[in-house]
């Protein structure tokens, strides 16, 4: 089979799927991306860049759409060359959120398109308006409506879609839901495993092991969408109340989602000025290699995961697979996986006191924590294990490529 992947940040959600097809040696696999260093054995990477940026002073409602069009054009140009060379994919597998697949049907009308539908923006009932610190204006309502332009086109042109969770699926317009399968990318439960002998080393060289009084907080970026303000206030309480406690914070100081911090500062800098933390006992580790992420999960006594009603993080599920006692926000994306005091503890997203209290209980009640560890891993192994979900993904790809009816 000839397979074409489209994702500007290779491999994105296709890490396991692209590896599986590349490793088989039975398929011709091409991956078009903006990423210039990613490599997958058996997969040919073609990298594109943009010839220009967004038009200066364009209406801000459609700046994102113009960027999507620019990316879609670049992918179209590459695909035109591929078609001229005789490459016609049996299936195109794309994350359309950045516009890469906008014009794929213009160059490959005969190739089925399987799209990854991650999130459909809504002015009500999801992330927007959730945080009272960021009230919604009439201008915001109009802007959010326009953010779905690329999503709308992609939903219309796709032959089939995949969405990772039921809640994320629920945000999409009803008219398109019949052609979307809810199927998570999968968590590698042979890599994300409990490891009592793990050691985590901080940048300054301090080592932590299972049994140490350690709490973790992990986010791609330290930002409000992932509850960073609540975490910082909880950290102040925890470090004050627990003189032997250390906190490991993994992530970067940029912003992935939502409003940026004021010019010239970061959310971490802002909150460091608002709370009092023992700098010797909170360890800012930046981004870390994957093996060290696994080590962090395996030494922690409790892991804090907070999120707006938004895309669920891989890190929460990887932590659960490692058997981590979870303190998570009582928000809709989390409800799909976590049941309060069954396989984790749910807390008010905005309550630093609840977060700190839940963490301290896990530190003090080892039997309770052990039960949550076991149940957390069971949840992932039974419902989200890569070994079970990858074959389902590949079966779906096969059916879409052959344009057969999809069995849900």
Do residues 298 and 318 make contact, with C-beta atoms less than 8 angstroms apart?
no
> pLDDT for 165-217, tens place per residue?
999 999 999 999 999 999 999 999 999 999 999 999 999 999 999 999 999 99
Query: Nearest to residue 1, comparing CAs of 397, 314, 282?
Result: 397
DSSP state of 137: P
Query: Nearest to residue 168, comparing CAs of 404, 29, 335?
Result: 335
Rg (CA), the chain: 22
Reading phi first (left if > 0) and then psi (alpha if -120 to 50, else beta), residue 219 is in beta
Distance, in Å, from the CA atom of 62 to the CA atom of 215, rounded to the nearest integer, reads 42
User: Is pLDDT above 60 for 68?
Assistant: yes
Structure tokens at 344: 């984790």
Q: Quick one: average pLDDT of 374-378?
A: 98
Distance, in Å, from the CA atom of 306 to the CA atom of 230, rounded to the nearest integer, reads 8
- In this structure, what are the phi and psi dihedrals at residue 322, rounded to the nearest 5 degrees? -80, 0
Structure tokens at 164: 């990772």
Domains present along the chain, CATH in parentheses: 2-186+386-401 (3.40.50.2000), 199-383 (3.40.50.2000)
Do residues 226 and 311 make contact, with C-beta atoms less than 8 angstroms apart?
no
> pLDDT for 100-139, tens place per residue?
999 999 999 999 999 999 999 999 999 999 999 999 999 9
pTM of the model: 0.94
Report strand pairing: 326-329 vs 345-347: parallel
What is the average pLDDT score of the chain?
Answer: 96
Do residues 269 and 228 make contact, with C-beta atoms less than 8 angstroms apart?
no
DSSP state of 94: E
Helices (H), 158-225: 166-170
Euclidean distance between the first and the last CA atom of the chain, given in angstroms as a whole number: 23
pLDDT above 90: percentage of residues in the chain: 97
Q: What is the pLDDT of residue 95?
A: 97
Give the C-alpha distances (Å, rounded to integers) separating 70 from 67, 147, 281, 283: 5, 16, 46, 41
Label residue 406 by pLDDT band (50, 70, 90): low
Distance, in Å, from the CA atom of 306 to the CA atom of 344, rounded to the nearest integer, reads 13
Number of Cβ within 10 Å of residue 403's Cβ equals 12
Angle at 340 between CA 339 and CA 345, to 5 degrees: 115
Q: What is the pLDDT of residue 405?
A: 59
Distance, in Å, from the CA atom of 360 to the CA atom of 153, rounded to the nearest integer, reads 48
């Amino acid at each position: 089979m000839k397979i074409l992947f489209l994702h500007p940040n290779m491999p994105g959600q296709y890490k396991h799927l692209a590896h599986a097809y590349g490793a088989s040696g039975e398929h011709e696999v091409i991956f078009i991306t903006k990423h210039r260093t990613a490599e997958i054995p058996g997969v040919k990477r073609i990298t594109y860049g943009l010839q220009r940026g967004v038009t200066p002073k364009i209406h801000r409602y459609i700046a994102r759409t113009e960027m999507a069009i620019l990316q879609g054009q670049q992918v179209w140009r590459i695909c035109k060359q591929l078609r001229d060379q005789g490459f016609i994919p049996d299936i195109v597998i794309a994350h359309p959120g950045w516009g890469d697949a906008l014009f794929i049907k213009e160059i490959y009308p005969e190739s089925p398109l399987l799209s990854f539908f991650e999130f459909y923006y809504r002015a009500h009932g999801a992330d927007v308006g959730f945080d009272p610190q960021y009230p919604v204006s009439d201008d915001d309502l109009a802007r959010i409506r326009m953010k779905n332009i690329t999503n709308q086109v992609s939903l219309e042109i796709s032959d089939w879609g995949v969405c990772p969770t039921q809640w994320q699926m629920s945000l999409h317009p009803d008219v398109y839901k019949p052609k979307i399968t809810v199927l998570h990318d999968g968590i590698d439960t042979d890599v994300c495993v409990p490891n009592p002998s793990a050691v985590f080393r901080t940048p300054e060289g301090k080592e932590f092991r299972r049994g140490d009084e350690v709490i973790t907080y992990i986010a791609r970026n330290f930002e409000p969408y992932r509850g960073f303000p609540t975490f910082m206030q909880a950290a102040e309480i925890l470090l004050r109340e627990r003189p032997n406690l250390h906190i490991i914070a993994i992530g970067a100081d940029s912003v992935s989602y939502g409003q940026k911090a004021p010019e010239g500062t970061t959310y971490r800098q802002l909150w460091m000025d608002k709370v009092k933390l023992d700098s010797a006992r909170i360890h800012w580790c930046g981004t870390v290699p994957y093996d060290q992420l696994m080590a962090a999960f395996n030494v922690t006594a409790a892991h804090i995961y907070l999120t707006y009603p938004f895309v669920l993080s891989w890190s929460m599920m990887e932590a659960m697979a490692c058997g981590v006692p979870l303190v998570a926000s009582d928000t809709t994306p989390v409800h799909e996986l976590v049941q309060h005091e069954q396989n984790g503890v749910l807390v008010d997203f905005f309550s630093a006191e609840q977060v700190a209290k839940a963490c301290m209980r896990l530190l003090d009640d080892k039997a309770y924590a052990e039960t949550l560890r076991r149940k957390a891993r069971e949840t992932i192994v039974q419902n989200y294990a890569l070994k079970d979900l990858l074959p389902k993904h590949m079966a779906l790809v096969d059916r879409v490529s052959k344009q057969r009816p999809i069995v849900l």
